[in-house]
Amino acid sequence: MQKKRDSAGDVTGLRGRAESSLRNRTKAQVEVDRRLSSETQRLLHELQVHQVELEMQNAELVETRDRTDMLLEKFTDLYDFAPVGFFTLDDQGRILEVNLTGSALLGVERSKLISRFFSRFVLLPGRSVFLGFLARVFSGTGKESCEAKLSKEDGTPFWASLNGCSAVPLAGQKKACRVAVSDITSFKQAQEAQRLLETLSVSNEALKKEIVRRQTVEEALKDSEQHQRQLLEHSRRMQEQLRDLSHRVLQAREDERKRISRELHDEVTQTLVGINVHLETLSRDATISPKRLRQKVLRTQRLVEKAVETVHEFARELRPTSLDDLGLIVTLHSFLNDFMKRTGIRVQFTAFAAADQLDGDQRTALFRVLQEALANVSQHAHASRVQINIHKSADVVHMEISDNGDSFDVARTLNNKKNKRLGLIGMRERVEMIGGQCTITSAPGEGTRVHAQIPFKNGNKEHTRP
């Protein structure tokens, strides 16, 4: 019974354990199943996410491919239709690649340019320049440039600017460089036009200067022609004055001879005749008393003295001997004293002592100028005072004669052909004959001033007499 109860208890416990184990296993299985279902869902979710990522990446790849195709198309267009020609050359100068612009520049289809030498299109004078440019491109790392004159396939020449740099060759390719070629014919023509314009500008400027110079020369020639006409007119007037002066000198010489002849006849001859009569009377009258003899001798002596004085007066008028014997200053003092006694005109005279060292011609010229000037003052000026000053300045002697009398028109007087007096012209001619100058000025209220200047090298001491 006990065993039955124990057996029954065991079975009951085993079942309980089995049920408990089943319950536990069912919970574990449920947990496993639950865990399996969650993992599957996660994996499925991951797969779905990955699928979405793949779809997005595929869309991006498609978009990138489309963009790349578009960029490639744009690059191809930019490359082919660029405003400059792009050439890929090897180290021998053969053309490996070229764009459409490059083929258009050379006038050859692109396919026919491949493997041709680029130097074939370079004109001979610039071929060495191109080869040197190509050598520099392949030997260096920087950019190189040059200008050369190229020729199209049909022979049309044009100027081109070449800019090149070395290119990294792709696998299996030769060493290469890329050269950009631009047509600069218009630029060269503009440069040539600019140079021509500059040349023309320089020529134009030189032409302007030449025009200005010729205008200046023309003006100078006109001035010179006018001056020459003035000189010619002045020379003509001077010639007329000289002819007139010559005629007047001849006439004055003749008049002077007549006057001297008349004076000699009237004065000296009559005096000498009177002396002769007295002497003849003395020779016939032997019984004359001593007293009467002395009276007759005295009258005869007075006649002789009168004759001598007359001869001396003629000599002084012709030429004062004191100019040679006593000098200029003493002669002028004597002349001025006599002038003041005869006219009553007060004269103030100042001179420097070395004036006596002037030579004979110079002393005579100054004396005659002074003599003629004072003659004009006494006859025409109605002056009461005359100032005479002879002084030295540097190597020039100046003689100034001024009065306070009436004025006159100097130019008209000098040019007046009806003027029979030689004074003004004679003064000027005398001074000019010894290398000097003589000017005469006259103005109302200021009187007349005669200024004569002649060369001199000695003397500086002043001599003054009021």
Mind listing the pLDDT tens digit of every residue in the chain (466 residues)? Answer: 444 445 445 545 555 565 665 556 555 555 655 665 777 877 877 787 777 788 888 888 888 888 887 877 777 777 777 889 999 998 889 999 999 999 999 999 989 999 999 999 999 888 999 999 999 998 877 889 999 999 999 999 999 999 999 887 655 567 889 999 999 999 889 888 888 888 888 888 888 888 888 888 888 888 888 888 888 888 887 777 777 766 666 566 666 666 666 666 666 666 666 666 666 666 666 566 677 767 777 777 777 777 777 766 666 666 677 777 788 888 888 889 988 998 999 999 999 888 888 888 888 888 888 888 888 888 888 889 999 999 988 889 999 999 998 888 877 776 665 554 456 777 888 888 888 999 989 888 888 999 999 998 553 344 443 3
* Residue 283, in any domain of the structure: no
Same domain assignment for residues 448 and 459: yes
* Residue 7, in any domain of the structure: yes
Distance CA 267, CA 314 (A): 11
* Residue 29, in any domain of the structure: yes
Distances 451 to 125, 404, 431, 442 between C-alpha atoms, Å: 84, 15, 10, 11
Smallest Cα–Cα separation from 179: which of 115, 134, 129, 121? 134
Domain around 126 = 82-183
Same domain assignment for residues 98 and 116: yes
Number of domains in the chain: 3
- Reported pTM: 0.42
Same domain assignment for residues 49 and 105: no
Same domain assignment for residues 29 and 92: no
Same domain assignment for residues 328 and 437: yes
Same domain assignment for residues 45 and 88: no
Same domain assignment for residues 17 and 148: no
